[in-house]
Amino acid sequence: MTKNKDRKMRQETKIKPSSSSTSRLQLLTSHLLPPMASEKDAALAAVPTDSPTIFDKIINKEIPAKVVYEDEKVLAFRDIAPQAPTHIVIIPKVKDGLTGLSKAEERHCEILGHLLYSAKRIAEQEGLEDGFRIVINDGPKGCQSVYHIHIHLLGGRHMNWPPC
């Protein structure tokens, strides 16, 4: 077989999906794969509970996280689905019933203050001297999806008000 004939045969046997086979494939996979859930969908699907969450796995180093700050009381890591160029989640290492801010009791005042002060320090560390935003989502209507209290630290872009 000549070189040219061989190359032609190889090209002809390559599978090039036609537009109709591509759309057939999309139709098939759309039934198999659920669409990517939005943050709101995730929050609505989340069940408010005191059970361990994905954040316990991060604290226990069972799953990786991009940790940016840690002390004896709090852990801060980059959000897996960032909503701003800088998006950091700050959590207490011990939940102590604080599934969300609405569960706060007087004994939590110290850790709540420590979380906020840590957010300020991390903002400095991240170079957010022009401003940043702190968010605490609470409950289904507050779009909370992980029931282990946490502060979102967002920065690196201009924020809008009111938040929608």
122, 145, 153, 155: which one binds ligand AMP (CB under 6 A): 145
**CA-to-CA dists, residue 137 to 34, 61, 89, 96, 144, angstroms:** 25, 24, 12, 18, 5
Among the residue ranges 8-16, 25-33, 72-80, 121-129, the one whose residues contact ligand AMP (CB under 6 A): 72-80
The partner residues of 91 in beta bridges, in order of sequence, read: 75
Residues 101-130 close enough to bind ligand AMP by CB under 6 A: none
- Of 43 and 122, nearer to ligand AMP (C-beta) is 43
Exactly one of 87, 148, 150, 152 is catalytic; which is it? 150
Minimum CB separation from ligand AMP for residue 139, in Å? 10
Q: Which stretch binds ligand AMP (CB under 6 A): 28-36, 105-113, 120-128, 139-147?
A: 139-147
Q: Which of 76/128 has CB closer to ligand AMP? A: 76
CA geometry: angle 147, 115, 131, nearest 5 deg: 110
Report the 10 Å Cβ neighbour count for 127.
10
Query: What amino acid positions are annotated as catalytic residues?
Result: 150
Q: Where on the chain is the footprint of ligand AMP (CB under 6 A)? A: 39, 43, 54, 63, 65, 77, 79-81, 89, 137, 143-146
